[in-house]
Amino acid sequence: MPLRLVLLGPPASGKGTQGRRIAEREGLAYLSTGALLREELENEGPIAEEIRPVLARGGYVADDTMCRIMEPWLASHESAGWVLDGFPRTAAQDDFLGRWLDERGQSVDAAVALEVPQSELLGRIERRVECPQCRWSGQKSETDGGHCPKCGAVAGPRADDGRENFLRRFDEFALHALPVIERYARREKLIRCDATDDIGTVADRLARYIDSLSSHGQEA
Ligand SMILES: [Zn+2]
């Protein structure tokens, strides 16, 4: 059975970095909705004008728009395992995902909640960069002297970063995503992970959680 995971956590909690690591290790597809939306803007896609002002003020895209963007991606990965980063971000999006999977006899295997205090997140925001070529994003210290570790292009600050944007997104997270985390806790499908340590330590911790998940799956 392919593993289907959702990553939940406040902005800058390391969802992108950890999500890609999990995907590589487990052989899963990885989707960052943030990168998907920024790509839509750059390619002047059909919903670019609708989402541009929302993203410009650091807000989140409306649920129905988000689901419209997600549907084709899910459809093209129907038989694959995946890690979703940035979706579902609200209870309504989680309802959509649950229905979509249920219609295919599938479900989310686990939600991973990355936990980092707000003060630590603010520091990370100030050090974060992204590659304009391949969409890699991470901390400045992870670059190769300012160059993307994946493709070598010059990585720069992310367009949606900044203290004000962060605080607005953090509030949105607390309001809309915390209830989603609680849902997965009630379904006993939540993995809470302390994500304050360095990237390698957090990745190892997550790998152990995910290993125990798949060994349970085999026993069942
Ligand atoms: Zn790159």
Domain limits, the chain:
4-117+164-219
The enclosing H or E element of 144 equals none
Question: How many Å lie between the centroid of ligand 1 and the Cα of residue 3?
Answer: 27
CA of 150 to the centre of ligand 1 (A): 5
CA 134 to ligand 1 centroid distance, Å = 4
Give me the pLDDT at residue 219, please: 42
Q: Is 184 annotated as a binding residue?
A: no
pLDDT in the model for residue 161: 64
60 is annotated as contributing to ligand binding: yes
Between the CA of 86 and the centroid of ligand 1 the distance, in Å, is: 20
Asked whether residue 53 is marked as a ligand-binding residue, the answer is: no
d(CA 160, CA 155): 14
4-117+164-219 — its CATH code? 3.40.50.300
Contacts of 157 (CB under 8 A, 6+ apart): 128, 129, 130
- For residue 217, the SS3 value is helix
Q: In terms of C-beta density within 10 A (0-12 exposed, 13-18 middle, 19 or more buried), how is residue 64 classed?
A: exposed
Tell me phi and psi for residue 192, to 5 degrees: -90, 125
Q: How many CA atoms lie within 13 A of 50 on its CB side?
A: 14
Q: How far is the CA of 160 from the centre of ligand 1 (A)?
A: 18
Q: What single DSSP character describes residue 18?
A: H
Q: d(Cα 35, Cα 16) in Å, to the nearest integer?
A: 10
Tell me, in angstroms, the distance from the centre of ligand 1 to residue 92's CA.
33
- pLDDT given at position 220: 39
pLDDT at position 159 is 66
pLDDT at 160: 63
Cα of 48 vs centre of ligand 1, distance in Å, is 23
Cα 38 to ligand 1 centre (Å): 15
Give the whole-angstrom CA distance, residue 181 versus residue 100. 19
Residues 6+ apart with CB under 8 A from 23: 29, 30, 82, 83
33 annotated as ligand-binding: yes
**Residue 23, marked binder:** no
Which residue ranges in the chain fall short of pLDDT 70? Answer: 58, 159-161, 214-220
| Distance between Cα 103 and ligand 1 center (Å) | 37
Give start and end residues of each alpha helix (H) in the chain: 15-26, 33-42, 48-56, 63-76, 91-102, 118-126, 163-172, 178-186, 199-219
Q: Which of 110, 44, 43 minimizes the C-alpha distance to 82?
A: 110
Tokens 């939540």 locate to 190
Q: How many angstroms separate the alpha carbon of residue 153 from the centre of ligand 1?
A: 5
